[in-house]
Amino acid sequence: MTPVPRDDTGAPVPVPERVRRVVSLVPSLTETVAASAPGLLAGATDWCTHPEGLDVPRVRGTKNPDLERVAALRPDVVLGNAEENRAPDVEALRAAGVPVWMTDVRTVDGALESLRRMLAEACRVPPPPWLDEAERAWAAVGPPARRRAAVIPVWRRPWMVVGRDTFAGDVLARLGVANVYSGHAERYPKIPLPELNASGADLVVLPDEPYRFTADDGPEAFPGVPAALVDGRLLTWYGPSLADAPRALAERLAPANLVTHRTGPAGAV
């Protein structure tokens, strides 16, 4: 008898031998399935924006999925993530008899391993070429010529930054950027702006999601500190974007592409 596979959290997931319908509750995982076995996708969240033009039923957001809608789509398996999705929603789906495969991704290597297992054991599909390409791309990243200390905001009003034990933090660490708040007790702490500016960081990394930082919205709060404006998908998504992330992020982190505001406006928040 074939043993029941277990997801990243150790929970047994009774996935059928042949999977025909997958509902994804995480944008990264939606893109992963769409790029690997597009015919399997039976539903996705409203926030699943990649690949462009994805035409599948929508089930609201990652934090408030329409559980009745999900069940009505008759998925063989639902894909979720321990950080993105709420435990009560996962428990409700499982109680209704819907298999839910949960990922838990906190490092680059962990992402590659998790995706490979998810595709093989939860979706019953062979590893796609892009996954091998992503592994080669990250294996080719050598020791950085220099290390920089960075603040990595993900929200403002209030300011919230990347803290300990996060995928984004590991991505940047592999590229020579150390997270000033990697030792914080929280994974995404709220830190007052004066404290951020007194942190000793010599770089601020500003992604365009979940908060959409731009050249005109973000760098001015960190006068004198170079800012790297990066594609949030490359920094925080674990999927096909992993293949391009090392090169594209390294380019955005290059000194020639940094933005520096010499003075900040009074009362910047």
Averaged pLDDT for residues 216-220: 96
Asked whether residue 102 is assigned to any structural domain, the reply reads yes
CA distance 185 to 164: 7
Q: How far apart are CA 163 and CA 174, in angstroms?
A: 16
With respect to residue 2, please indicate whether it lies within any of the assigned structural domains. Answer: no
The total number of structural domains that make up the chain: 2
First to last CA, the chain: 59
Task: Report the distance separating Cα 134 and Cα 200, nearest Å.
Answer: 33
Residue 98: CA count within 13 A, CB half-sphere: 25
Query: 154-193 pLDDT, tens per residue?
Result: 999 999 999 999 999 999 999 999 999 999 999 999 999 9
Same domain, yes or no: 153 and 207: yes
Nearest-angstrom CA–CA distance, 198 and 176:
21
The yes-or-no verdict on residue 264 having pLDDT over 70 is no
Q: Say if 122 falls within a structural domain.
A: yes
Please tell me whether residues 153 and 221 are part of one structural domain.
Answer: yes
Same domain, 183 and 242: yes
CATH (domain of 81): 3.40.50.1980
Mean pLDDT of 60-71: 97
Task: Tell whether 8 is covered by a domain.
Answer: no
Confidence of residue 96 (pLDDT cuts 50, 70, 90): very high
Taking alpha carbons only, the member of 68, 79, 93 closest to residue 8 is: 79
Q: Choose the final residue of a domain: 127, 153, 188.
A: 127
Spell out the residues 6+ positions from residue 256 whose beta carbon is closer than 8 angstroms to its own.
none
Q: What is the mean pLDDT of residues 110-121?
A: 98
**Which of 127, 161, 193 delimits the end of a domain?**
127
Residue 11 lies in a domain: no
Q: Is residue 14 part of a domain?
A: no
Name the pTM for this structure.
0.92
Categorise residue 49: left if φ over 0, alpha if ψ from -120 to 50, beta otherwise. alpha
Predicted local distance difference test score (pLDDT) of residue 2: 73
Q: Is the pLDDT of residue 268 over 80?
A: no
Examine the pLDDT at 213 and tell me if it is beyond 70.
yes
Please count the other Cβ atoms lying within 10 Å of the Cβ belonging to residue 79: 26
Please check whether residue 174 lies inside any domain of the structure: yes
Closest CA to 116 of 106, 107, 127, 125: 127
| Contact indicator for 102, 82 with CB cutoff of 8 Å | yes
Instruction: Give yes or no: residues 114 and 152 share one domain.
Output: no
Q: Which domain holds residue 212?
A: 145-257
With b meaning 16 or more CB within 10 Å and e meaning fewer, what string describes 11-47? eebebeeebebbbbbbbbbbbbbbbbbeebbbbbbeb
Same domain, 242 and 207: yes
In this structure, what are the phi and psi dihedrals at residue 148, rounded to the nearest 5 degrees? -120, 150
* DSSP code for 61: -
